[in-house]
Amino acid sequence: MAMKLKKLFNTTKSKLFWLYIVFGALFTVLAVILMPFWKDANIDIFFAPWGYSIVKTVVAVALLLYVFLYLIKQLKKRTNNVVKVLGIIEFILLILIAAACLLNQFISFNVGTVGQILGFVLWIRGAIEVFRAYYYKDSESHSKYPVWQLFVTILLISVGTYSMFSNLLSDRAVLWAVTSIIALCGVISIILGFLKQPVRKAKKKVTKKEDKEEVKDELKDENK
Protein backbone atom coordinates (compact mmCIF):
# COMPACT_ATOMS: atom_id res chain seq x y z
CA MET A 1 0.00 0.00 0.00
CA ALA A 2 2.83 2.37 0.91
CA MET A 3 4.60 1.62 -2.37
CA LYS A 4 1.43 2.40 -4.35
CA LEU A 5 1.08 5.74 -2.56
CA LYS A 6 4.72 6.56 -3.33
CA LYS A 7 4.11 5.83 -7.01
CA LEU A 8 0.94 7.91 -6.99
CA PHE A 9 2.66 10.90 -5.38
CA ASN A 10 5.91 10.43 -7.25
CA THR A 11 7.64 13.81 -7.48
CA THR A 12 10.35 12.78 -9.95
CA LYS A 13 11.12 15.68 -12.26
CA SER A 14 9.51 15.38 -15.68
CA LYS A 15 9.27 17.45 -18.86
CA LEU A 16 5.57 16.57 -18.96
CA PHE A 17 4.90 18.34 -15.65
CA TRP A 18 2.60 20.78 -17.47
CA LEU A 19 0.13 17.96 -18.20
CA TYR A 20 -0.49 17.56 -14.47
CA ILE A 21 -1.15 21.29 -14.17
CA VAL A 22 -3.50 21.35 -17.20
CA PHE A 23 -5.50 18.28 -16.07
CA GLY A 24 -5.60 19.61 -12.52
CA ALA A 25 -6.98 22.94 -13.72
CA LEU A 26 -9.60 21.18 -15.88
CA PHE A 27 -10.69 18.97 -12.96
CA THR A 28 -10.95 21.98 -10.65
CA VAL A 29 -13.03 23.96 -13.18
CA LEU A 30 -15.25 20.90 -13.77
CA ALA A 31 -15.85 20.54 -10.02
CA VAL A 32 -16.83 24.21 -9.71
CA ILE A 33 -19.23 23.95 -12.69
CA LEU A 34 -20.94 20.81 -11.36
CA MET A 35 -21.35 22.05 -7.78
CA PRO A 36 -25.02 22.19 -6.66
CA PHE A 37 -24.45 25.72 -5.35
CA TRP A 38 -25.47 27.31 -8.67
CA LYS A 39 -28.92 25.75 -8.83
CA ASP A 40 -29.54 25.92 -5.07
CA ALA A 41 -28.88 29.67 -5.14
CA ASN A 42 -31.12 30.10 -8.25
CA ILE A 43 -28.28 31.68 -10.19
CA ASP A 44 -29.32 32.15 -13.83
CA ILE A 45 -26.39 30.55 -15.63
CA PHE A 46 -26.43 27.94 -18.40
CA PHE A 47 -24.49 25.23 -16.52
CA ALA A 48 -26.51 25.51 -13.27
CA PRO A 49 -28.51 22.25 -13.78
CA TRP A 50 -25.56 20.21 -15.11
CA GLY A 51 -24.55 18.89 -11.68
CA TYR A 52 -27.91 17.41 -10.77
CA SER A 53 -28.29 15.99 -14.29
CA ILE A 54 -24.95 14.19 -14.19
CA VAL A 55 -25.83 12.52 -10.86
CA LYS A 56 -28.57 10.48 -12.55
CA THR A 57 -26.22 9.62 -15.44
CA VAL A 58 -23.63 8.31 -12.98
CA VAL A 59 -26.34 6.24 -11.23
CA ALA A 60 -27.46 4.80 -14.59
CA VAL A 61 -23.88 3.84 -15.55
CA ALA A 62 -23.29 2.29 -12.10
CA LEU A 63 -26.51 0.24 -12.38
CA LEU A 64 -25.61 -1.02 -15.85
CA LEU A 65 -22.12 -2.03 -14.68
CA TYR A 66 -23.64 -3.83 -11.68
CA VAL A 67 -26.15 -5.64 -13.88
CA PHE A 68 -23.78 -6.75 -16.63
CA LEU A 69 -20.64 -7.39 -14.57
CA TYR A 70 -22.21 -8.99 -11.47
CA LEU A 71 -25.89 -9.83 -11.78
CA ILE A 72 -25.63 -11.84 -15.01
CA LYS A 73 -22.87 -14.00 -13.49
CA GLN A 74 -25.07 -14.67 -10.47
CA LEU A 75 -28.00 -15.66 -12.70
CA LYS A 76 -25.86 -18.19 -14.54
CA LYS A 77 -24.90 -19.85 -11.26
CA ARG A 78 -28.47 -20.33 -10.03
CA THR A 79 -30.05 -23.74 -10.52
CA ASN A 80 -33.34 -23.20 -8.69
CA ASN A 81 -36.04 -22.02 -11.11
CA VAL A 82 -37.80 -19.77 -8.58
CA VAL A 83 -34.58 -17.95 -7.66
CA LYS A 84 -33.62 -17.66 -11.34
CA VAL A 85 -37.02 -16.13 -12.26
CA LEU A 86 -36.72 -13.63 -9.39
CA GLY A 87 -33.19 -12.81 -10.58
CA ILE A 88 -34.51 -12.11 -14.10
CA ILE A 89 -37.19 -9.82 -12.63
CA GLU A 90 -34.46 -7.98 -10.69
CA PHE A 91 -32.41 -7.70 -13.90
CA ILE A 92 -35.33 -6.18 -15.85
CA LEU A 93 -36.28 -3.74 -13.06
CA LEU A 94 -32.73 -2.42 -12.71
CA ILE A 95 -32.40 -2.00 -16.48
CA LEU A 96 -35.67 -0.02 -16.47
CA ILE A 97 -34.43 2.19 -13.60
CA ALA A 98 -31.15 2.83 -15.45
CA ALA A 99 -33.09 3.74 -18.62
CA ALA A 100 -35.34 6.07 -16.58
CA CYS A 101 -32.27 7.81 -15.10
CA LEU A 102 -30.90 8.41 -18.61
CA LEU A 103 -34.26 9.61 -19.95
CA ASN A 104 -34.52 11.99 -17.00
CA GLN A 105 -31.85 14.11 -18.74
CA PHE A 106 -34.34 14.89 -21.53
CA ILE A 107 -37.77 14.40 -19.95
CA SER A 108 -38.50 15.84 -16.52
CA PHE A 109 -40.09 13.23 -14.23
CA ASN A 110 -39.47 11.91 -10.73
CA VAL A 111 -37.09 8.93 -10.74
CA GLY A 112 -36.32 9.14 -7.05
CA THR A 113 -33.19 10.22 -5.22
CA VAL A 114 -29.87 8.40 -5.32
CA GLY A 115 -30.57 7.09 -1.81
CA GLN A 116 -33.96 5.67 -2.83
CA ILE A 117 -32.52 3.97 -5.91
CA LEU A 118 -29.63 2.52 -3.90
CA GLY A 119 -32.09 1.39 -1.21
CA PHE A 120 -34.21 -0.44 -3.79
CA VAL A 121 -31.13 -2.16 -5.26
CA LEU A 122 -30.06 -3.38 -1.80
CA TRP A 123 -33.59 -4.37 -0.78
CA ILE A 124 -34.37 -6.44 -3.89
CA ARG A 125 -30.98 -8.19 -3.69
CA GLY A 126 -31.63 -9.04 -0.05
CA ALA A 127 -35.19 -10.24 -0.78
CA ILE A 128 -33.97 -12.59 -3.52
CA GLU A 129 -31.25 -13.91 -1.21
CA VAL A 130 -33.98 -14.76 1.33
CA PHE A 131 -35.67 -16.97 -1.30
CA ARG A 132 -32.28 -18.47 -2.17
CA ALA A 133 -31.74 -19.29 1.51
CA TYR A 134 -35.16 -20.99 1.63
CA TYR A 135 -34.47 -23.11 -1.47
CA TYR A 136 -30.75 -23.54 -0.73
CA LYS A 137 -29.38 -27.04 -1.17
CA ASP A 138 -25.81 -28.07 -1.72
CA SER A 139 -25.86 -31.15 -3.98
CA GLU A 140 -22.53 -32.40 -2.64
CA SER A 141 -22.54 -31.82 1.13
CA HIS A 142 -26.21 -30.94 1.73
CA SER A 143 -24.98 -28.15 3.98
CA LYS A 144 -27.20 -25.40 5.30
CA TYR A 145 -27.23 -21.83 4.03
CA PRO A 146 -24.20 -20.07 5.58
CA VAL A 147 -25.10 -18.05 8.67
CA TRP A 148 -22.87 -15.11 7.69
CA GLN A 149 -24.65 -14.86 4.33
CA LEU A 150 -27.99 -14.83 6.13
CA PHE A 151 -26.72 -11.99 8.33
CA VAL A 152 -25.61 -10.03 5.23
CA THR A 153 -29.01 -10.67 3.61
CA ILE A 154 -30.87 -9.27 6.65
CA LEU A 155 -28.51 -6.28 6.66
CA LEU A 156 -29.18 -5.60 2.95
CA ILE A 157 -32.95 -5.63 3.48
CA SER A 158 -32.72 -3.43 6.60
CA VAL A 159 -30.39 -0.81 5.07
CA GLY A 160 -32.30 -0.91 1.77
CA THR A 161 -35.68 -0.36 3.44
CA TYR A 162 -34.34 2.49 5.58
CA SER A 163 -32.67 4.14 2.57
CA MET A 164 -35.83 3.92 0.45
CA PHE A 165 -38.03 5.64 3.03
CA SER A 166 -35.57 8.17 4.39
CA ASN A 167 -33.48 11.02 3.05
CA LEU A 168 -30.25 9.18 3.86
CA LEU A 169 -28.57 10.02 0.55
CA SER A 170 -30.02 13.03 -1.23
CA ASP A 171 -28.88 14.02 -4.74
CA ARG A 172 -27.45 17.21 -3.25
CA ALA A 173 -25.31 15.37 -0.69
CA VAL A 174 -24.00 12.93 -3.31
CA LEU A 175 -23.23 15.77 -5.71
CA TRP A 176 -21.32 17.72 -3.06
CA ALA A 177 -19.30 14.57 -2.26
CA VAL A 178 -18.51 13.88 -5.94
CA THR A 179 -17.55 17.49 -6.75
CA SER A 180 -15.38 17.71 -3.62
CA ILE A 181 -13.47 14.58 -4.67
CA ILE A 182 -13.01 15.94 -8.21
CA ALA A 183 -11.78 19.29 -6.85
CA LEU A 184 -9.38 17.54 -4.46
CA CYS A 185 -7.96 15.46 -7.33
CA GLY A 186 -7.54 18.64 -9.36
CA VAL A 187 -5.65 20.46 -6.59
CA ILE A 188 -3.38 17.43 -5.96
CA SER A 189 -2.64 17.19 -9.70
CA ILE A 190 -1.67 20.89 -9.87
CA ILE A 191 0.62 20.54 -6.83
CA LEU A 192 2.26 17.45 -8.34
CA GLY A 193 2.75 19.35 -11.59
CA PHE A 194 4.72 22.10 -9.86
CA LEU A 195 6.71 19.56 -7.84
CA LYS A 196 7.62 17.68 -11.02
CA GLN A 197 8.79 20.82 -12.82
CA PRO A 198 12.48 20.37 -13.73
CA VAL A 199 14.91 22.76 -12.10
CA ARG A 200 16.42 25.15 -14.64
CA LYS A 201 20.19 25.10 -14.79
CA ALA A 202 21.72 28.39 -13.71
CA LYS A 203 23.64 30.16 -16.46
CA LYS A 204 27.37 30.48 -15.84
CA LYS A 205 28.31 34.10 -15.06
CA VAL A 206 31.28 35.32 -17.10
CA THR A 207 33.53 37.80 -15.30
CA LYS A 208 35.49 40.64 -16.93
CA LYS A 209 38.77 38.86 -16.17
CA GLU A 210 37.59 35.73 -18.00
CA ASP A 211 36.55 37.90 -20.97
CA LYS A 212 40.02 39.52 -21.13
CA GLU A 213 41.73 36.13 -20.94
CA GLU A 214 39.58 34.78 -23.76
CA VAL A 215 40.45 37.83 -25.95
CA LYS A 216 44.19 37.37 -25.26
CA ASP A 217 43.96 33.68 -26.20
CA GLU A 218 42.22 34.55 -29.45
CA LEU A 219 44.93 37.14 -30.32
CA LYS A 220 47.69 34.64 -29.62
CA ASP A 221 46.03 32.13 -31.91
CA GLU A 222 45.80 34.73 -34.71
CA ASN A 223 49.51 35.72 -34.33
CA LYS A 224 50.53 32.11 -34.65
pLDDT in tens, 25-60: 999 999 999 999 888 888 888 888 888 888 888 899
Check residue 111 and give its pLDDT: 84
Residue 112 backbone phi and psi in degrees, to 5 = 105, 165
Domain ranges of the chain: 16-199
Residues of the chain with confidence (pLDDT) below 50? 1-2, 5, 139-141, 206, 215
Check residue 131 and give its pLDDT: 87
Q: What angle do CA 174, 177, 178 make, to 5 degrees?
A: 85
Check residue 1 and give its pLDDT: 47
Residue 108 backbone phi and psi in degrees, to 5 = -85, 110
Residue 36 backbone phi and psi in degrees, to 5 = -70, -5
